[in-house]
Amino acid sequence: MEKATLIYNPCFADNRGVFAPLPLVFGEDKIEILRKDWVQSNISYNPNKFTFRGMHLQEGPHAQAKLVKVVNGSIIDFVVDLRPKSPDYLKVQEFIVTSGSEVYVPRGFAHGFITTEDNTVVQYLVDNHYNRESERSILWSSFPEIRKLIKEQHVDPIISDKDLNATPIHDYLLEPKLIFDTVEWQGRSINNLYNSNFGVVLAGSLMLLTLLCLAILNFLK
């Protein structure tokens, strides 16, 4: 199963500026070649530091893998594995990405980034075309790890209204949805539920319901 990967690329500088190749190779040891049928190249220009974009993904047959590269400036890149069968399910990862590195994001991941310099330009390749019906946005602040890191910057990030009104991760996970070409119920495991506030409420409700049923049975006797 593919993993999100930070790829380091060599940069060559001289009196003219910098030349940075874009090899389709994974990792520093270059042992695994990345071969994708990239269909589109997107450019994101962000004039202001601390601009946040995310967390975004496309579902079902329109899911996208991404190769995210910083052309100018720098970002903190966030990815969340939303593949229920993955050993890293719901794991949040962050990568510091500059002009000398890029991030490979497999299908089935939510993706976003925050700029850490003014005039940051991000280019990313995708292996599937944009599809409005399968596009989803998940509220960035509903991920504790991302919320904590942003809070440490001591700023209010610049965010679009669309991303501010995105679906919280707890609500998103309880919805049936398309993952690649099959319909799966992407709910969290019982262990994950019990480790959240939602899980505590749910567990308490189930306990009260059980006690109520026992009381009714005793009364009927």
DSSP 19: E
172 and 194 part of one domain: no
Q: How far apart are alpha carbons 121 and 139 in whole angstroms?
A: 23
218 and 139 part of one domain: no
127 and 204 part of one domain: no
User: Which residue in this structure is represented by tokens 């969340």?
Assistant: 80
We report the CATH number of the domain holding residue 11 as 2.60.120.10
Q: How far apart are alpha carbons 196 and 14 in whole angstroms?
A: 53
Inter-residue contact 42 to 128 (CB < 8 Å):
no
Tally of domains within the chain = 2
pLDDT of residue 100: 74
Cα–chain center distance at 38:
19
Query: Could you list the residue range(s) of the whole structural domain that residue 209 is in?
Result: 189-221
Inter-residue contact 102 to 133 (CB < 8 Å):
no
Q: How far apart are alpha carbons 102 and 210 in whole angstroms?
A: 52
145 and 162 part of one domain: yes
pLDDT of residue 139: 98
153 and 217 part of one domain: no
pLDDT of residue 18: 76
In degrees and rounded to multiples of 5, residue 68 shows phi and psi of: -100, 125
169 and 206 part of one domain: no
Which residues belong to the active site? 56, 124
170 and 215 part of one domain: no
Inter-residue contact 164 to 120 (CB < 8 Å):
no
26 and 89 part of one domain: yes
30 and 14 part of one domain: yes
144 and 217 part of one domain: no
In degrees and rounded to multiples of 5, residue 60 shows phi and psi of: 65, -150
> Which portions of the chain are predicted below pLDDT 50?
27, 29-31, 33, 180-196, 198-200, 202
143 and 153 part of one domain: yes
194 and 125 part of one domain: no
